[in-house]
């Protein structure tokens, strides 16, 4: 049995008098009452997220950084009709997908996830990101990627 100590008198017998979902379902807010002194206080119960690490091509391992992900997406969509909210939602979807895979992820998995999202939102941004991510050397690389993009677009319309 879990005991929560009263912050006023440190007594270890408190009762939950109300529980509610909070923070869009990611936490439970509990109102408690101390059996000894009657002090009322609030506690929050949250799921502890496991750290997510990215394995880089060179073999190093870095903590996942959503800000870095968003920066890369922002560079790709610069000057395009994509708002900040769409970028933030895209980054959240990518992070959620990567966390569901479990364990560490590779930088390749991160890059492919970004490409999947950009393909659906803005084809120009997709090509910009692909040119950097896939390290395009010449116009033939752009032509090949454009052919893949057109193939995907026509398949999704059918």
Same domain, yes or no, for 60 and 127?
yes
Same domain, yes or no, for 8 and 58?
no
Same domain, yes or no, for 70 and 86?
yes
Give the separation between CA 52 and CA 100, rounded to whole angstroms.
10
Joined together, the tokens standing for residue 6 give 């009263």
Sign (positive or negative) of CA dihedral 131, 134, 136, 141 = negative
Same domain, yes or no, for 13 and 71?
no
Same domain, yes or no, for 148 and 121?
yes
User: Per-residue confidence at 2, pLDDT binned at 50, 70, 90?
Assistant: low
Q: Are 18 and 30 in contact (CB under 8 A)?
A: yes
Same domain, yes or no, for 100 and 138?
yes
Please tell me the predicted confidence (pLDDT) of residue 92: 87
Same domain, yes or no, for 43 and 106?
no
Domain range holding 28? 1-48
Same domain, yes or no, for 67 and 128?
yes
Same domain, yes or no, for 30 and 106?
no
Same domain, yes or no, for 36 and 66?
no
Same domain, yes or no, for 148 and 88?
yes
pLDDT at 155 over 80: no
Please give the DSSP secondary-structure letter assigned to residue 23. Answer: G
Please tell me the predicted confidence (pLDDT) of residue 100: 81
Q: Which residue has the tokens 């394995």?
A: 55
Per-residue model confidence as pLDDT tens digits over 13-56: 899 999 988 756 668 889 999 999 999 999 888 766 678 899 99
Joined together, the tokens standing for residue 97 give 């997908």
Whole-structure pTM value: 0.63
User: Per-residue confidence at 9, pLDDT binned at 50, 70, 90?
Assistant: very high
User: Per-residue confidence at 150, pLDDT binned at 50, 70, 90?
Assistant: confident
Same domain, yes or no, for 131 and 144?
yes
Please tell me the predicted confidence (pLDDT) of residue 76: 93
Please tell me the predicted confidence (pLDDT) of residue 117: 92
Chain length of the chain: 158
Q: Mention every residue, 6+ apart, whose C-beta is less than 8 A from residue 4.
A: 12, 14, 32, 43
Residue 83 three-state SS: coil
> How many domains does the chain fold into?
2
Q: Are 73 and 90 in contact (CB under 8 A)?
A: yes
- Cα-based angle 49, 68, 45 (whole degrees, multiple of 5): 20
Please tell me the predicted confidence (pLDDT) of residue 99: 84
pLDDT at 60 over 60: yes
Please tell me the predicted confidence (pLDDT) of residue 152: 77
């Amino acid at each position: 049995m879990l005991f929560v100590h009263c912050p006023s008198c440190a007594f270890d017998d408190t009762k939950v008098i109300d529980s509610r979902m909070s923070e869009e379902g990611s936490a439970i807010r509990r109102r408690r009452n101390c059996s000894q002194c009657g002090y009322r206080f609030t506690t929050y119960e949250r799921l502890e997220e496991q750290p997510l690490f990215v394995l880089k091509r060179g073999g190093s391992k870095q903590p996942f950084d959503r800000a870095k992900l968003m920066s890369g997406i922002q560079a790709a969509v610069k000057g395009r009709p994509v708002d900040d909210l769409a970028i933030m939602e895209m980054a959240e979807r990518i992070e959620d997908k990567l966390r569901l895979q479990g364990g560490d992820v590779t930088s390749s998995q991160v890059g492919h996830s970004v490409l999947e999202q950009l393909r659906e939102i803005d084809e120009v941004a997709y090509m910009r990101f692909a040119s950097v991510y896939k390290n395009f050397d010449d116009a033939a690389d752009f032509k090949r990627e454009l052919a893949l993009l057109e193939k995907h677009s026509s398949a999704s319309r059918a």
